[in-house]
Amino acid sequence: MDKPKDSYSQAFKQIAKIANSSLPLKKALNAMARSTAKALKAIGCSIMLLNPQKQYLEIIAAYGLSDLYLRKGAVNAHKSLPEILEGKAVALVDVSQDKQVQYPEAAEIEGISSILGAPLLQKGEVVGEIRVYTDGPRHFPQVEKDFLSTVANIVAITLEKNEFYQVLKAEHEETITKRRKLAETPKLPSSSLRPSRFGHPSEEEFARLLDFYRIEWLYEPRSFPLAWQGNKVSEMFTPDFYLPELDLYIELTTLKQSLITEKNRKVRRLKELYPEVNIKLLNKKDYLRLLAKYGYGPLGGTKVEGINRVLFSHTQIQRRTRALANHISRDYQGRRLVLVGILKGVVCFMADLMQHISLPLSIEFMAISYYGSNTEPAVKITKDLDTSITGLDVLMVEDIVDTGMTLNYILNHLSSHNPASLHVCTLLDKRARRLIDVPLDYIGFEIPDEFVVGYGLDYRGEYRNLPFIGALSPRLIEEEAGK
């Protein structure tokens, strides 16, 4: 295993090489953010500039962060890690408990536990910040603070020397002005990392497909030098897309043989020079197969017909599940925890949740059936607990809570067994349909009054194996009902 100092040394070499390359500014900064995050074993990194009034920060480069997090709203430099404005490196160990975090809910959804930030200084004046984000609580030692501060200095020099800096700054000043009024609003502007247009219609089509499935992507995030003449780069290759959740670069190609041959040559050369980089050259049929491999299409044997839209991607679900598990682990420290779930819909969520809970625990499953009329359904327990929960701390795990009637019945049943405590964790809360106000202690996502499927949830026995949660088309439900 590499020692930290060796890792930082390699990272400095890579970052310095990027700073001295002919890469466009934004691509160079994205590459620096990636190298920084990798060196600190962080899940993400962002580089931000201050507006002239030193009031707001605008993200101009990032790595590993979801589009949802990047679009969370205007970042107020005086509310979010304000000590960085004083020229200090700042570390937050637990973002959920620290008032210096402007958007704690967005951080929780992203799965961010700790943040380390450092100022970008030009002639002794703070012009921006660089931050790294971890998915577990972390006490950053001084060597990590020093590393990030040094990277910040390289980034600042890169910004200062780049001839396009003033143009870029003017563009982002205009963007910041527009976003200032959006800091507290749920509707968010498009990320500045998204292109205004694509180089080819196939790229736009692929991007729309990724957006439908809520798969995170960056367009042309990095350029790779392939050949040099002396000290100057003579050939570069910029893959079309980067998919962070798969750590995969994608280069799209048409059926024109000359283009395929040339791109194949560049991909082979890139793999030779950068063996750690995962890249694929794909045509339309290839990328449909790739998505199907990960369960995002009919070729994978997963039914997707009838999905109106994707509400939460697999990555979003996993991040939120980790955040819930972290809260549960803290709340139940030193206690005997039992997770109880109702078959079958909760299986996916239960399995992922318990993997991230850092406590000894046991699990129990129950099964129920419904009888009676459509207007007055009743619940019958067909499989009860296998062991006693008397005197134990019980956490009822639900896939979705809508009317609350079934959950209320189950909670009353569990309470009769005299557990030490009884609380509820649900992945989805369909509050619009609530009839009984049951207490929910841990909530993944609140959803609208729509029929949702995927990640264990089914419709007529199908869709359970979708890796995402999607809204089923009302038209499909009406057609099925009319049969």
* Same fold across 4-182 and 310-481: no
256 versus 43: which is more confidently predicted? 43
Exposure letters 115-141 (e unless 16+ CB within 10 A, then b): bbbbbbbeeeebbbbbbbbbbeebebe
Distances from the Cα of 84 to the Cαs of 59, 75, 76, 134, 217, in angstroms?
15, 13, 12, 18, 29
Question: How many other C-beta atoms are found inside a 10 Å radius of the C-beta of residue 218?
Answer: 23
Residue in 52, 145, 20, 47 with CA at minimum distance from that of residue 93: 145
Residue in 144, 474, 126 with CA at minimum distance from that of residue 309: 474
Catalytic residue among 402, 429, 437, 449: 402
Architecture of domain 4-182: 2-Layer Sandwich (3.30)
Task: Say whether pLDDT at 432 is over 70.
Answer: yes
CA distance linking residue 134 with residue 122, whole number of Å: 27
pLDDT of residue 173: 53
pLDDT of residue 472: 87
Confidence of residue 284 (pLDDT cuts 50, 70, 90): confident
**Residue count (the chain):** 483
DSSP-based three-state secondary structure for 420: coil
Does domain 201-301 fall into CATH 3.40.960?
yes
Architecture of domain 310-481: 3-Layer(aba) Sandwich (3.40)
Task: Say whether pLDDT at 180 is over 80.
Answer: no
Least confident stretch, 41-55, 268-282, 368-382: 368-382
pLDDT one-digit tens code per residue, 191-209: 444 566 787 888 888 888 8
Residue in 318, 291, 363 with CA at minimum distance from that of residue 455: 318
- Mean pLDDT throughout 389-410? 94
CA distance linking residue 90 with residue 292, whole number of Å: 43
Confidence of residue 188 (pLDDT cuts 50, 70, 90): very low
Find the farthest-apart pair of alpha carbons in the chain and give their distance in angstroms, rounded.
82
Cα 422 to chain center, whole Å?
30
DSSP-based three-state secondary structure for 5: helix
Helix (H) or strand (E) holding 476: helix 474-481
- Mean pLDDT throughout 28-38? 92
108 Cβ contact partners less than 8 Å away, ≥ 6 residues apart: 95, 96, 320, 323
Confidence of residue 302 (pLDDT cuts 50, 70, 90): low
pLDDT one-digit tens code per residue, 463-482: 898 888 988 888 776 666 55
214 versus 172: which is more confidently predicted? 214
Taking the domains of the chain in order of start, what are their residue ranges?
4-182, 201-301, 310-481
Confidence of residue 183 (pLDDT cuts 50, 70, 90): very low
Confidence of residue 1 (pLDDT cuts 50, 70, 90): very low
pLDDT of residue 430: 93
Residue in 169, 187, 192, 265 with CA at minimum distance from that of residue 226: 265
402 is catalytic: yes
Peptide linkage before 344 cis (omega within 30 of 0): yes
β 421-429/393-401 pair status = parallel
**Highest-confidence range of 220-229, 258-267, 389-398, by mean pLDDT?**
389-398
pLDDT one-digit tens code per residue, 67-81: 778 877 778 899 899
- For the chain, give the mean pLDDT: 83
Partners of 364 in the beta sheet?
A: 340
Q: Where are the alpha helices (DSSP H) in 121-200?
A: 142-161, 165-179
Place of tokens 């949702």: 452
- Mean pLDDT throughout 109-138? 92
pLDDT of residue 352: 94
Could you give the percent of the chain with pLDDT greater than 90? 39
Cα 289 to chain center, whole Å?
23
CA distance linking residue 261 with residue 14, whole number of Å: 30
pLDDT one-digit tens code per residue, 320-339: 998 899 889 989 998 989 99
Residue in 118, 110, 108, 51 with CA at minimum distance from that of residue 88: 118
pLDDT of residue 113: 92
CA distance linking residue 110 with residue 44, whole number of Å: 10
User: Are 45 and 37 contacting, i.e. CB atoms less than 8 angstroms apart?
Assistant: yes
CA distance linking residue 243 with residue 315, whole number of Å: 11
